[in-house]
Structure 1
Amino acid sequence: MKNKWLLREKGQEEDLKSHLLNVRQINIEESKSFLNPTKADLISPYLLKDMEKVVNRINTAKYKSQLICIYGDYDVDGISSVSILLKTFNFLGINSIFYIPKRIEEGYGINTQAIDTIKKMGADLIITVDCGITSVDEIEYAKTIDLDVIVTDHHECKEILPDAIGIINPKQDECEYPYKHLCGAGIALKIAQALIEDNDSALFDELIEIACIATIADIVELSGENRVIVKNGLLSLKKTINIGLKALMEVSGINSSNINSSNIAFILAPRINSTGRMGTPELGVSLIIEDDFEEAVIMARKIEELNRERQTVELKIFEEAVALIEQKSKNNKILIASSKNWHSGVIGIVASKLTEKYNKPTFVIAIEDENIGKGSARSIDGFNLFENLLKLDECLIKFGGHNQAAGITIHEDRIAEFELMINEIAEEILNKNHFQRIIEIDSKLKLKDINSNTLKILNELEPFGIGNRKPLFCLTNYKLSNYKYIGKMKKHFKSEINDDIEIIGFNKHELINNIDLNFPVDFVFELEINSFNNKDKIQLLLRDLRSSYNYSEALKIMHDYILKFKALTLAKNQLTKTDKDKKINFDEMLCLYGKKLLIVNTCESYFSLIERLHFYNIKPTVDFENSINDYTIILSPIIDNLDLSRYNNIVIYQSDSFLSSINIESQNIKVLSITDKIIHTKDIVPSRETFISLYKVIMNKLNIKFYIFETCEYFRISELSFFVILEVFKELRIIDFELNCSDGSVSVKTINKLIGKKNLDETKTIKSLDFINLYDK
């Protein structure tokens, strides 16, 4: 199924920054705190239920010289949470150790064997971070051996909560904390905030950096307080004093002064994650709390090796999972792949990639010792994993997670039953519309808009993630050149626009292979800076691609406009006031019934409207005399010559001078509420300087091919103006040309050089355009 593109169009008087804020429903009053949140915007930690109990118990441990064990998870969030509390306790002089379970041997969450180990280590208090909210039995066991437990977690709560000294989780009942989307490290940061009581200290800057990395990595909403954490964390990371993070950035090739949310999501976080995925999460913690740079670099290099190993294992599992799905279940609404040969440490990443590939909820299950399967799931909008897993609780050993991500433990002999049951649930919830990927495009750009100013605006909108997705842009009708396939398997695509701008498409070979790149394309992209070998390049990160609308008919009519002057004048009657008031927007126009005649008055609107309809996979008719489709577009018509009876609705791009010029006795007239200018001679006839510039280009070569849209953008003229220049040069016997509608180009052959100075206003082509001034009368 093809992706559906939705364009959030920018108003004519709206600048790009205002438009991007409006798309995110951020008004002028809110924009200051959104663009520049400070640490003063952090919420009081004492609004979290049980925070006072937790602080008191930690202080008791300090005063009694008791040992606290921080019990974490093996992902970035868990590793970061442990590191935040270790640094905080070390600063406050509190005795502390940490314990992170082995992913394969122990699995997620608290287990009784670990509790016994921690007791033997001499601990008096366990503080869980990023886990524990569903560990009712395990925490009950800890009480029997005189171990106090504090639970700090951000995962969804079940009906029964553990009987702990205190529970810090904003999602629990009766917690009045106003922001519910903190990750585990965010909650650890709140505990540190309550204990340190100084948001401006150097230590708190370090802690907010660590929480920033975890918040991005854990894919939680980047709104509200999470935005405060990440925005300030990114600022602090640019000049970090954390030795371990400095070393990791250096080894990873990141310039700290340019660090952004993408660097963290795709470079730093996967490396920290690899320590847990490959069985050594303590290495991640040790790096973050390390004080010696040389030692930190050694650790960072080990992590780099683990990450490469993780990538190899992950690719193998992904390819095997795809083969299984293609063979047996790709038509199911929920995809499930399982194997005894998979490493459970990387199945979460594989599940994410499979969900991205198929746009369906996906479970990947690694079957381990005693035929126990450990699974990781990722979902799409419309299917809440946690809520639906609750319905299958009896089928599972245990589970936990969120709306979009979850983990399960299941007996191998129940996987088939689970697959059947969860697909039965999906049949009631999901329909084909859920599986069509919607690509929301923030704005259409022209090549000249891709510059440092646009990047500066994007930098202000950072950080990007859920709740503030990275803006998507599109270029339309662009002819790709200088492209090649790169990478070991030639699965990546690269094209150079110029020395400063490049297009890169990772794993887009299947998409690109289905498109003829000899013709213009429309493509959707993210915009970013790529720093390599001390050189910065603007990079267009390809997200989707499709063939452009075939403008052959439209270009021919545009050319005919100049040659045959079809649009001579308008009727002199008036449109009634009642009809004028029937204003609609573009979405309302799409909902009109029957055949629609769309009247536009400029080249810009003509092509813009064609492109806008193309976004919705609507192909309009542009040849009025042979109108067959539901949509017909016509440029500046002679209203009296039109047979309007065959249309159910007539839609006019708003133009006061146009509306006051016509009278159509119809109740079906609609005015599209987008301002459109009337064509004037001064708009069509280019300046003498433009004539000279194009003449010089032509004279440099005997034969030259111009791609019309790119040429018009380069010279900043309309398509009509371009045809005027060509017709004038043809009239002066300087050139001959042939219009190639199939690829939107003109082949120009030089005949003679111009001798002497010519008065272009005296040419028949320009003289005959004078009557268009009748539009002004």
Structure 2
Amino acid sequence: MFQWKEKSAQVSKLTGPFPDLIARVLASRGLTQSDLDELLNPKLSDLKDPFVLKGMKEATDRLVTAFKNNEKICIYADFDLDGTSGLAILKYGFEKIGFQHVAYYQPKRLSEGYGFHAEAVEELKNLGISLIVTVDVGITSFKAFEKAKELGVDVILTDHHLPADELPQALCIVNPNQKDCPSGLGYLCGAGVAFYLLRAVKRAFYDDPDLPKNEWDLKEVLEFFCIGTLTDMVPLVGDNRTLVKYGLKSFGQTQKAGLKALLEALRLHDRELTSQDVAIRFAPKLNALSRMESDILPAQIYLETDHRKANQMVDRILENNETRQSLQGDAEAKALKILETWTEPDFVYVSSPYFHRGIIGLIATKLSQQFNRPAFVGSENSEGMIVGSSRTPQGSEISLVEALRSAETVLNRHGGHAAAAGFELHAKNQEAFKGFLKAYFENAKHEKRPIEIDFDTTADLSEISTHVMKWYDFIGPFGVGFQIPLIKFDPVSLLSMKELKGGHYKLSLSDTTHSHKVDALVFSPSEKLVDLLSVGQQYQVLSELQWNYFNGRKTIQLLVKDLKLL
């Protein structure tokens, strides 16, 4: 089980119009009285100047030249929802400004893989493209830039990933994480960098007397910004927080045909959305398209204007997601069966020809959480080649990049981040690969620790009210860098429980006097947690607060993250 730890920021209790429970949550995060106005009332007028980003002036000048020369432009974006969101920001925004020839290209996740590819540059050159703008990709794609230079195609590189010491030979680079960039905007995702490029171009058009003026509002692309920022798990601080807060206000009321159709199908339309609605309920349906390499791209949903076509696409999106869920469920069951005889204490490894390549990252995440150790999952093709994905459990200090590097003599390729990385090897090298991993983890001598859960404060069920919930929503959005408040309720009694479809549980909880009751949801609990549930027992419960929408009613419920018997 998990080890609970209460946050202990040493600050004075905050005062304001909010309830005491909200004051305790804010204080637990180290916020002071002087921080409150910026937190509660962020202003779009306080956003940083886009031209503070290194390379932005050169990028904007080149785009203005492309407009004046009526050139064909292509936006080349990564296939994930960060890249797709940035693509939509630029495609939608450039056309609103007045650009006439804006194409886009995304590599296929499975058949082409991540990156800015030289073959694609050749293809785009043959289509008459003279300027490429990358989104969320390119900072390590040296061969593609060499090909672009050879073919006379200019490339504006926009990205947010950490660069190497050497940079590609792009026309210009806009990346807040490159050396000597003074912007302080390193928390932007790829879509965020694209949004700042669009802001700069719009201003350049406004300042140039020879260019057409257009009064369209940049707020029209904030839905796209929200999706990219919330799904790429970048910190919700600074300008990110401001833009997501404003974007969520308009997202639930969007009139963009594709987004609206999917929101309606998920019963999320015509209400204020939370960051969790976007990241947990909305985005995975779109992510499944590239995972399964569907014939529909997420970008088509972002940009569709015909409501009838949008509804048809959404039907296929939901069917595709059901296929993904089925394949994932079957694969997780197979993986657990295979691992019944696994004896290594420091990591788990499993590979099968029955694992779809598009879902191995999801399986690795599930296994890392369940076993509380790094998980390596592979999908084997008919030629004996294994493409794999790896994940670490929450709170781990282990670097998967270093672990994979220790086995690079038997790997065809590998790369990624400390907590999420990919690899490729031949099936004949599996035993050697596992041996290298075993040696690495033994030598690293990482002490295996229980997973810690930090919670904000302890409260009584009597403190939950619609007034508290309004303030709870108002202090959002929540995400990386400003986590969803986690509250310990102690003690509570379990009045009733019911298993729901999908292995979830609906609980009815009360305080010990039964004077205050609340419904609670336990999402995909472990067997150990289910075994603890017994009507009539008393518990300590760690949970988030949330609204439950059902049959036109809006009620408060707890989302249980963990519980302990008293």
TM-score over 0.5 (shorter chain): yes
Q: 1:416: Cα distance to partner?
A: 4.1
Displacement of 1:217 in angstroms is 0.9
Matched, 1:115 2:121: yes
Q: Which moved more, 1:279-288 or 1:422-431?
A: 422-431
Q: Paired residue for 2:257, among 234, 243, 246?
A: 243
Structure 2 partner of 1:406: 421
**What secondary structure does 1:280 align onto?**
coil
Q: Is the 8 A contact 2:488 2:542 kept in 1?
A: yes
Match in the other structure for 1:359: 372
- Describe how 1:490-529 pairs up with structure 2 within 5 A: 491-497=503-509, 501-508=518-525, 510-515=527-532, 517=534, 518-529=536-547
Q: Which residue number in structure 2 is paired with residue 348 of structure 1?
A: 361
Cα distance in 2 for partners of 1:77, 1:402 equals 16
The structure 1 residue matched to 2:142, chosen from 136, 139, 142, is 136
1:537 aligns with one of 550, 555, 558:
555
Q: Deviations over 1:411-440 (max 9, x none)?
A: 44445444443444444546335x411111
- Counterpart of 2:274 in structure 1 is 260
Cα distance in structure 1, aligned partners of 2:410 and 2:171: 31
> Where does residue 57 of structure 1 map in the other structure?
62
What residue in structure 1 maps to residue 186 of structure 2?
180
- Asked if 1:339 corresponds to 2:352, the answer is yes
8 A contact 1:6–1:440 mirrored in 2? yes
Mapping 1:439-454, distance limit 5 Å: 439-454=453-468
Question: 1:453 deviation in Å?
Answer: 2.2
Gaps of 5+ in 1: 549-777
Cα gap change, 1:419 to 1:146, in 2 (>3 Å): farther
In the other structure, the counterpart of 1:466 is 480
Q: 2:232 aligns with which of 203, 215, 218?
A: 218
SS in 1 for 2:386: strand
Taking the TM superposition and a 5 Å limit, the aligned residue runs for 1:45-84 are 45-84=50-89
Deviation at 1:13, TM superposition (A): 6.4
Structure 1 residue 391: Cα displacement: 6.1
Deviation at 1:336, TM superposition (A): 2.9
Paired residue secondary structure (2:139): coil
The AA in structure 2 aligned to 1:6 is K
Matched, 1:33 2:38: yes
* Distance in 2 separating the partners of 1:347 and 1:399: 15
- What is the distance in 2 between the residues matched to 1:478 and 1:172? 51
CA contact (8 A) 1:364 1:375 kept: yes
Which residue of structure 1 lines up, in the alignment, with residue 330 of structure 2?
316
1:529 alignment partner AA: W
Give the aligned partner of residue 398 of structure 2.
Answer: 383
Q: Secondary structure at the match of 1:480?
A: strand
Counterparts in 2 of 1:225 and 1:322: CA distance versus 1, 3 Å: farther
Query: Equivalent residue for 1:22?
Result: 27
CA distance in 1: counterparts of 2:270 and 2:290, whole angstroms? 24
Structure 1 position 96 matched with structure 2 position 107: no
1:421 is aligned to: 436
Give the number of equivalent residue pairs. 542
Identify which of structures 1 and 2 has the higher relative contact order when contacts are C-alpha pairs closer than 8 Å and 6+ apart: 2
Q: Residues 457 and 355 from structure 1, CA distance in 2 versus in 1: closer, same or farther, beyond 3 angstroms?
A: farther
SS in 1 for 2:74: strand
Name the aligned partner's letter for residue 56 of structure 1. D
Q: Is the 8 A contact 2:42 2:242 kept in 1?
A: yes
User: In 2, Cα distance between the equivalents of 1:201 and 1:528?
Assistant: 38
For 1:474, what is the secondary structure of its paired residue?
strand
- Looking at CA atoms only, which structure, 1 or 2, has the larger radius of gyration? 1
SS of 2:94's equivalent?
helix
Q: Partner letter of residue 532 of structure 2?
A: I
CA contact (8 A) 1:206 1:241 kept: no
Distance (whole Å) between structure 2 residues aligned to residue 111 and residue 509 of structure 1: 42
Aligned ranges 1:648-687 → 2 under 5 Å: none
- Assess if the C-alpha contact under 8 Å between 2:84 and 2:299 holds in 1: yes
CA distance in 1, matches of 2:259, 2:8: 41
Residues 141 and 25 (structure 1 numbering): CA distance in 2 closer, same or farther, change over 3 Å?
same
Give the 3 Å change call, closer, same or farther, for CA 224–407 of structure 1 in structure 2: farther
In the TM superposition, what whole-angstrom CA distance separates every residue of 1:483-527 from its partner, at most 9, and x where no partner exists? 122225xx2221124898311112215133432624312111111
Cα 1:308–1:119 shift into 2, 3 Å:
same
Secondary structure in structure 2 of the residue aligned to 1:305: helix
2:219 to 200, 205, 210: 205
Distance 1:161 1:431, change over 3 A: same
Q: What SS does the aligned partner of 1:337 have?
A: strand
Displacement after TM superposition at 1:355 (Å): 2.4
AA in 2 matched with 1:378: R
Letter in 2 for 1:272: L
- Where structure 2 has 5 or more consecutive residues not aligned to the other structure, the ranges are 15-19, 207-213, 511-515
Per-residue Cα deviation, 1:32-65 (whole angstroms, up to 9, x for no partner): 1122222223222222221112112222222222
The aligned counterpart of 1:276 is 290
Residue 402 of structure 1: CA displacement?
3.3
TM-score, normalised by the number of residues in structure 2: 0.89
What whole-Å deviation, never above 9, does each CA across 1:319-376 have from its counterpart, x for those lacking one?
22233344325522x3333223322222222222222222323232223465443333
Q: Once the 2 structures are TM-superposed, how far is the Cα of residue 407 of structure 1 from its aligned partner?
A: 3.3
Identical residues among aligned pairs (%): 32
Q: Which residue of 1 is the match for residue 209 of structure 2?
A: none
Aligned AA (1:456):
K
Give the match's secondary structure for 1:432.
coil
Hey, what does 2:173 align to over in structure 1? Answer: 167
Partner secondary structure for residue 543 of structure 1? strand
Q: For 1:136, give the aligned amino acid.
A: F
The TM-score normalised by the length of structure 1 is 0.66
Question: Aligned partners of 1:506 and 1:112: how far apart in 2?
Answer: 44
Give the AA of the match of 1:274.
A
* In structure 2, C-alpha distance between the alignment counterparts of 1:315 and 1:355, rounded to whole Å: 16
- Give yes or no for contact 1:152–1:169 (8 Å, CA) kept in 2: yes
* Partner Cα distance (2:236, 2:135) in 1: 20
Secondary structure of 2:161's match?
coil
* Alpha-carbon displacement from aligned partner over 1:456-484 (angstroms, at most 9, x marks no partner): 22212211111111111122232201212
User: What letter is aligned with 1:533?
Assistant: N
> Is contact 1:493–1:509 with CA below 8 Å preserved after alignment?
no
Provide closer, same or farther for how the CA distance between residues 516 and 238 of structure 1 changes in structure 2, counting only shifts above 3 A. closer
Contact 2:8 2:28 in 1 (8 A): no
Alpha carbons of structure 1 residues 64 and 363: separation in structure 2 relative to 1, 3 Å: farther
Q: Equivalents in 2 of 1:93, 1:32: separation in Å?
A: 38
**CA–CA distance in structure 2, aligned partners of residues 533 and 409 of structure 1:** 48
Per the alignment, residue 386 of structure 2 pairs with 373
Q: Matches of 2:434 and 2:53 in 1, distance apart?
A: 39
What residue identity is the alignment partner of 2:80? D
1:159-195 residue CA offsets vs partner (Å, 9 max, x unmatched)? 3321111222222222222121211111111111111
SS in 1 for 2:277: helix
- Give the match for residue 87 of structure 1: 92
| 1:185–1:214 CA contact under 8 A, matched in 2 | yes
1:700 — aligned with what? none
Asked whether the 8 Å contact 2:260–2:269 carries over to 1, the reply is no
Amino acid corresponding to residue 137 of structure 1 in structure 2: K
Give the whole-Å Cα distance in 2 for the aligned partners of 1:361 and 1:502.
35
Deviates more, 1:370-379 or 1:448-457: 370-379
**1:144 Cα deviation from its structure 2 partner:** 2.0
